[in-house]
DNA sequence: CTTGTTGCAAAAAATTTGCAACGCG
DNA sequence: CGCGTTGCAAATTTTTTGCAACAAG
């Protein structure tokens, strides 16, 4: 379903700021901070204000079209993806990757069974060192 | 090892702000936001400034004595605990609990094996509904 | 046309910093 | 006593909000 349809379905309008923010997010293959999004949006249309970027991100998140992550210092945004997500964050270079793992579903089952808790979304964040980076010389 | 020793070992001093912040964190059985910590610290000693609270949190985090979580809107702090941690966050009442799960270690092994990535800390955040809260009437 | 949205500028909220005074070791 | 730390106030940084003008449907 298209962005426009999703919006219209809920009586929201497809405006230029919304289209551009969505394009920027869709075209990026990595997480972007609000500042980066605002910058790129502004590059594409200097007339679009930062506050519209924030308002759009909030709206798209509400519609489950984008997802906010707080993996690092600043929070970042990306198009929403399947429920179980593993984020691999390199402590050295900061790169963030996704990783599929069937085990997450096992985890969900275990929690549902043992924790008196009904899981909906599971987020896994793994800090570590990626292949490109040297192993930490002084492991803490 | 005591706080004082850990500090002294690295040529830091045990000061009143540091002691009180540490006490507040140690005595709490839940995550606290910086504002909550500052408030409680101030209650115990009105002379301690907010900026000292922030500086202390940064130092204690550096020493791996406390840990910052960004599970919800605002980031929260808690004494550092074992590596693999599962946080259960209730979408309804906001309560945060810890949960042990051996599966996390399986996950670590799988990532190490398949992802070209050396995991150090693994954080699992599970959103959902806790036993005390009604199931969401309109599941999204 | 009607009403949701925007741009702008100002406000809020959250955190950081410079610096002289202070106090731990 | 010396140097790491603090309190304070001001500066940053990040996000939010009120409101008149604007534009999507």
Residue in A103, A120, A128 nearest the CB of B110: A103
Residue A68 backbone phi and psi in degrees, to 5: -95, 130
| CATH 1.10.287.3510 correct for A3-79 | no
Size of interface A-B (CB pairs under 8 A): 119
pTM > 0.95: no
pLDDT of residue A138: 45
Q: Is the CB of B13 under 7 A from strand C?
A: yes
Residue A137 has pLDDT above 60, yes or no: no
Residue A63 clears pLDDT 80, i.e. is over it: yes
For chain A, percent of residues with pLDDT exceeding 70:
92
CA B4 to CA B1: how far, in whole Å?
8
B106 contacts chain A (CB < 8 A) = yes
Flag residues of chain B having pLDDT under 70.
1, 82-84, 135-140
Which residues have CB under 8 Å from A113's CB, separation 6+?
none
Residue pLDDT, tens place only, B127-136: 888 888 876 5
Q: Check residue A139 and give its pLDDT.
A: 43
| Strand (E) or helix (H) holding B65 | none
Test A117 with B125 for CB contact under 8 angstroms.
Answer: no
Please list every residue in chain A whose beta carbon sits closer than 8 Å to the beta carbon of residue B75: 70
Give contacts of B126 with chain A, Cβ < 8 Å: 108, 111, 117, 119, 121-123
- Residue range A1-9: average pLDDT? 89
The pLDDT-based confidence of A140 (bands split at 50, 70, 90) is very low
Residue A23's pLDDT band, with cuts at 50, 70 and 90, is very high
Res. A136: pLDDT tops 90: no
What's the Cα-to-Cα distance from B25 to each of A122, B1, B77, rounded to whole Å? 27, 17, 8
* Through-space separation of residue A125 CA and nucleotide C24 C1' in angstroms: 40
Residue A94 sits at the chain B interface (C-beta within 8 Å): no
At B114, list the tokens: 């398949």
- A4: which residues sit within 8 A by CB, 6+ positions away? A14
Shortest distance, CA B79 to any CA of chain A (angstroms): 17
A residues 20-49 lying closer than 8 A (beta carbon) to B = none
| pLDDT score for B125 | 84
Which part of chain B is CATH 3.30.1490.190? 85-128
- The ranges of chain A annotated as CATH 1.10.10.10 are 3-79
Given this model, what pLDDT does residue A38 score?
96
Whether B103 sits inside 8 A of A123 (CB atoms) is no
Q: Which CATH superfamily is domain A85-128 in?
A: Ferric-uptake regulator, C-terminal dimerisarion domain (3.30.1490.190)
Give mean pLDDT, residues A58-64: 94
């Amino acid at each position: 379903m298209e962005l426009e349809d999703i919006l219209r379905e809920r009586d929201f309008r497809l405006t230029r700021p919304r289209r551009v923010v969505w394009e920027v997010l869709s075209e990026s293959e990595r997480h972007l901070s609000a500042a980066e999004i605002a910058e790129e949006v502004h590059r594409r249309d200097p007339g679009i204000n930062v506050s519209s970027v924030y308002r759009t991100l909030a709206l798209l998140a509400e519609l489950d079209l984008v997802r906010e992550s707080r993996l690092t210092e600043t929070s970042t945004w990306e198009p929403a993806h399947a429920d179980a997500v593993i984020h691999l964050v390199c402590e050295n270079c900061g790169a963030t990757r996704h990783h599929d793992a069937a085990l997450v579903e096992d985890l969900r089952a275990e929690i549902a069974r043992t924790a008196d808790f009904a899981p909906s979304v599971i987020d896994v964040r793994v800090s570590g060192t990626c292949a490109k980076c040297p192993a930490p010389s002084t492991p803490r």
